[in-house]
Amino acid sequence: MKKSILLSAFSLFVSLTFLSCKNNEEKLKDAQKDMIQAQKKLIKAESESMRQYENYRMKVSKRITDNELAIADLKIKAIDGTMSQKEKYNAQVEKLEIKNMELKQTLDAYGSYNADTWDSFKKDVDARAAALEKDFEAINRK
């Protein structure tokens, strides 16, 4: 009787060991599948992030180019008035040129493509571009 109980216990132990090995193998395979899926999602997200950045970069680059053309027009545009008025106008045009160049440098300097820095970068560039637009409006009203 003791032998049959021991034999049953041993059989149960071997069976459980075999089943738990199989479960571990299955768990390992499942974990590997999950890891591959996570890697695919990461690659897709990085690709989407790069696409968003490139689209945004093209949009802002166009604005910068448009600003450069407007600055060139302002430089050509002659204003009537005293010498001090002309100097003030030229100084304002020069400030526009500097701000536009800084906007371009900010856009070119962005090098990390993660969600944390993307939002703050985009807000910074949008704020700079909006401020530059206001400056253009102010100088064109004169």
Q: What are phi and psi of 5, to 5 degrees?
A: -70, -45
Angle subtended at Cα 122 by Cα 120 and Cα 127, rounded to the nearest 5 degrees: 95
Quickly list DSSP for 46-90: HHHHHHHHHHHHHHHHHHHHHHHHHHHHHHH----S-HHHHHHHH
Percent of the chain with pLDDT over 70: 77
N- to C-terminal Cα distance for the chain? 109
- Please report, as a single letter, which amino acid is at residue 81: G
Indicate whether 142 pLDDT > 80: no
Kindly list the domain boundaries of the chain, sorted by start residue: 2-141
- Could you read off the pLDDT of 32-62 as tens digits, one per residue? 777 777 677 777 777 777 788 889 899 999 9
pLDDT, the chain, mean: 80
Q: What is the pTM assigned to this prediction?
A: 0.67
Radius of gyration in angstroms for the set of CA atoms belonging to the chain, rounded to a whole number: 33
